[in-house]
Chain A
Amino acid sequence: MASLNITNVEKSFGHTHILKGINMDIQDGEFIILVGPSGCGKSTLMNCIAGLEDVTGGQICIEDHDITGVLPKDRDIAMVFQSYALYPNMNVRKNISFALEIRKLPKAEIEREVERVAKLLQIEHLLDRKPGQLSGGQRQRVAMGRALARHPKIYLFDEPLSNLDAKLRVEMRTEIKKLHQRLGTTIVYVTHDQIEAMTLADRIAVMKDGHIQQFGTPQEVYDNPANRFVAGFMGSPSMNFIDTELVNHEGQVCVKLLVMDQLHYLPTPSSERGLLERVGQKVVLGIRPEQITHVIPHYASNPSTFIVKAKIDVIEPTGPDTLVLVKMNEQEVNCRVEPHEAGKPGETMSLMINMSKTVFFDPITGERL
């Protein structure tokens, strides 16, 4: 367990710059998720932390010790790989004890440690099996066991759940979270699954093109995205982006919204301060699907909610909610409504828009206003 400080880390392969100045300060015991689309550099950053790739520039410190040039084996880091990377020729017990044997721990201690880890992960009955005889979930556990066995300072998880089926993935997700709560270890975890990111992380780092776009708690990243990319990446279905214009309407900064030939002026939330000077300019309104719902009577009187009538194009039932696709400003917008309130395609329904959590972006740069 330890803190991890990454300062200005850069990595290039020839002329391809993968990491362009990464800065992260990770506290002892934090669960950090690196998330981003493929090719954003998250796995490269992970390999740099582990020492499997040399950095081109910058510094990596564990507990204030500079480990930038240190060999992987001397960094005291354990990693769980996407393919699990269990040694196929060794049984589970050997897989777990391999690192301990190399570190020349006494036999009795190795045995004790294997027992402890096996008990922790409930794989005691699998110890004498070869990896080939295990199911995907069991291999996943063994891979975690191998990481846990030597009490490293930092754990790295490289998309550890992406090879599991959907049900098992949810189970293992919960289990990893429990494990972290129990052991209080520092974890850096790479995923491209934003639900995994939201559920597991203490803080999320959203990456794109070798830069960290935003580094904050899941709720911050969700409610207060730094730019349009982060807003669109986190959340499923993703945030609606509506091209619109800021106008001064009856003394309030409003956005223009055309729904079924009816022009609405919706006041922007007072928290979005920078909008006044942009009046008259084009902006992108970001609004999450759950902020456009069917009309809920006791919310309807709330000053930040507005009711519009819209024609339903498509409905997508998900079980708990039904997603209703409508057009606003000639653009498709997803709304999340109660299943029995949703109309049929072609029908008109009243939708309640909650403006209090809307965000605004520059249409060209995509930056938050």
Chain B
Amino acid sequence: MNTNPNRRYADITGRALLYAALGIMAIYYLLPLALMIVTSFRSMDEIRMGQLIDWPTQLNLDAWRIAWSEAQIGARSERGLQPYFINSMLITLPAVAISTLIGAVNGYVLSFWRFRGSNLFFGLLLFGCFLPFQAILLPHANVLGRMGISGSITGLIFTHVVYGLAFTTLFFRNYYVTLPGELIKAAQLDGAGFWRIFWRIILPLSTPILTVCVIWQFTQVWNDFLFGVTFSDPSSQPVTVGLNNLVNSSTGERRYNVDMAGAIIAALPTLLVYVIAGKYFVRGLTAGSVKG
């Protein structure tokens, strides 16, 4: 036990400073979100009459309703962010599932079934992580056109799968190289083949990295704007594009409350994913670094 009173005061002061610093940083990061939430519950009259930043006098859900289903965005017949939100779901869920699964198989092959040149293959694949996506927009548009899926949800899924693979493969490969190779040998002698080993032994051990990969991919795909705006047509635009159009379609005054509600709606799924799976994310990111 620490009995020296001077040391104890020093400890307490240190702690206090630490928490103060953490508190300030937390407030700094949370303040914009708080302002958005507060503003989204205020009516336009309140915003117009009073301060830009103020508490709502009453809980007004109009802005949320308008953003979700009533706002006229561009020249579309459907109103609100709802159709965009559904598009985003239709793009994100399959894209995340497919890219994660292929990444897992890639990582499995690159860790346990090395072939001639597999290290080179992996090295080249890593370039995909550093690729500026602006550089591939034109050639990729060409590819989508030739495949006959340009402007479609399928096209966007395909795009996100292809450009997500570099990361998902990297995640799984780096996780799997920490698993003992003898596990695979034992399973081979037990009579299991390539796929059975993957499904029965490797995949059940992948929970931490699956979580990381799903969160990562979900965030990437959901938040994507560049692909969404380039490779879509009006019927397949994701919510990020919808939000942009909502904020930029001005017919008269700027409706701050609707803009804020729309932004929160667009950000909500990623926020939820982090809240639900965040602790697994941190655990999974460090899982590869400690052996055993």
Contacts and interface: CB of A to CB of B under 8 A. Distances in A.
Interface of A: 47, 50, 52, 72-73, 77-79, 81-83, 85-89, 98-99, 102-103, 146
Nearest to A87: B201
A70 to B, nearest CB: 12
14 contacts: A47-B185, A50-B185, A52-B185, A52-B188, A72-B189, A73-B190, A73-B191, A79-B186, A79-B189, A85-B185, A85-B186, A98-B187, A103-B191, A146-B186
Contacts of A146: 186, 190
B189 A77 contact: yes
Contacts of A99: 189-191
A85 B188 contact: no
Interface residues of B, number: 17
A99 B188 CA distance: 9
Contacts of B193: 73
A8 B189 CA distance: 24
Contacts of B190: 73, 98-99, 102, 146
Interface in B176-219: 180, 182-183, 185-193, 196, 200-201, 204-205
A146 B186 CA distance: 10
Contacts of B182: 81-83, 85
Contacts of A85: 180, 182-183, 185-186
B187, B188, B191, B192: residue with the most chain A Cβ atoms closer than 10 Å: B191
Main secondary structure of the interface of B (DSSP, over half): helix
A83 B180 contact: yes
Contacts, number: 55
A102 B205 contact: no
A145 B199 CA distance: 23
A87 B187 contact: yes
A102 B204 contact: no
A81 B192 contact: no
Contacts of A47: 185
B207 to A, nearest CB: 9
Contact of A89 (B180, B186, B188, B201): B201
Given A85-B183, A87-B183, A102-B196, A73 B189 contact: yes
A83 B189 CA distance: 15
Contacts of A73: 188-193
A79 B185 contact: yes
Nearest to B204: A89
A79 B191 CA distance: 12
A77 B192 CA distance: 13
Nearest to A82: B182
Nearest to B197: A87
A83 B184 CA distance: 12
A73 to B, nearest CB: 4
A102 B185 contact: no
A82 B182 CA distance: 9
Contacts of A77: 189
Contacts of A83: 180, 182
Contacts of A98: 187, 190, 192, 200
A47 B10 CA distance: 60
Contacts of B200: 87, 98
Pick the 8 closest A-B CB pairs, nearest first: A99-B190, A85-B182, A89-B204, A85-B186, A73-B191, A102-B191, A81-B182, A72-B188
Contacts of A82: 182
A98 B183 CA distance: 13
B187 A78 contact: no
A122 B192 CA distance: 27
A31 B117 CA distance: 40
A23 B190 CA distance: 27
Nearest to A152: B189
A278 B182 CA distance: 51
B205 A88 contact: yes
